[in-house]
Structure 1
Amino acid sequence: MSTTIVHLLALAYGIPFIIIGIEHFREPQKFVDIVPPYLPFPLFLVYLTGLMEITGGLGIIYPETRIIAGRFMALFLLAVYPANFYMWANDVPFNGTKLTMNGHLVRLFVQFLLIVAALCLSGDFQKLRNFKS
């Protein structure tokens, strides 16, 4: 794949994370509401995850930091999935909207695709493919 296409894909991947990360600071309560109650300091966790989304989004855009940022984003997406699962298992609305079963399944699939995309942008999937050959 050409370098230009990879840069454009990284930009398309990173910008939404930056925007969502900023939203964690602009409207934290809608994110606090989905933090599972067994986790302490929900507002702090919302700010922390917002900062991590901004950092990961910026990191994946720049070629110099893309490898580590892609790996970080894959781990980050795994780490925040408990909030998504909590929403699903307890029918918790996000920003006033409850997802249907299909909505939660789509969200799970998208989360998986985002993890795969992060690992592709980091180059790890290509390394694995070359290793198997």
Structure 2
Amino acid sequence: MKPLLVLFAVFLISLFTLRFLTQKFDLLLSARIGMCAMLIFTAIGHFAFTKGMAMMIPSQIPLKTEIIYFTGILEILLGIGLLIPSLRIYSAWGLIVFFIILLPANIYATIHHIDYQKGTFDGNGITYLWFRIPLQILFIVWPYYCSIKVWH
């Protein structure tokens, strides 16, 4: 829920700030700025809640901590890439693939009641997927429409 709030809040702030500065609304740039801010926000979680996030990865996968750090850095780089015109499309495709790959970890965490912030097994549970899956779809569609579809 917090990433969604960051995404929309920064999108709206950017939209009106750009309107004030340029005398026009720039929905696409505001959307990319919102996604970048959301990705930086979620990337911080990779470093603040490493143990809990590592619990979201099935036990048979090695190097969990390294994966969490790598994906945190990747989120930051892809988010910044959305703001660089020559990297925008590549970053958007990278995010789409990233969010698709991330969905099974979120499903795994939900099924196992993982609370990544506490690093415990008393998380929300299966009903959380009713929110998480549509949210993940939004995160997949967002970079497509604000970075890729515009160019076709």
- Superposition TM-score, scaled by structure 1 size: 0.82
2:51 is aligned, of 16, 23, 29, to 29
Q: Which residue of structure 2 aligns with residue 88 of structure 1?
A: 110
Please tell me whether residue 106 in structure 1 is matched to residue 131 in structure 2.
yes
Query: Which consecutive aligned stretches of 4+ in structure 1 deviate over 3 angstroms post-superposition?
Result: 124-127
Deviations 1:12-51 (A, max 9, x none): 1111101221331233112112122121110011011101
Residues 27 and 94 (structure 1 numbering): CA distance in 2 closer, same or farther, change over 3 Å? Answer: closer
Shift of 1:94: 2.4
Separation in structure 1 between the aligned mates of residue 138 and residue 36 of structure 2, nearest angstrom: 14
Alignment: residue pair count: 126
AA of the residue aligned to 2:106: N
- Superposition TM-score, scaled by structure 2 size: 0.73
Structure 2 residue runs of 5 or longer lacking an equivalent are 1-23
Contact 2:49/2:116 (<8 A) preserved: no
Shift of 1:63: 2.6
Q: Which residue of structure 1 aligns with residue 144 of structure 2?
A: 119
* Identical aligned residues as a percent: 21
Matches of residues 1-133 of structure 1 in structure 2 within 5 Å? Answer: 4-96=26-118, 98-124=123-149, 127=152
AA of the residue aligned to 2:143: A
Structure 1 residue runs of 5 or longer lacking an equivalent are 128-133
Contact 1:60/1:70 (<8 A) preserved: yes
Deviations 1:98-130 (A, max 9, x none): 124332221111001110111112223773xxx
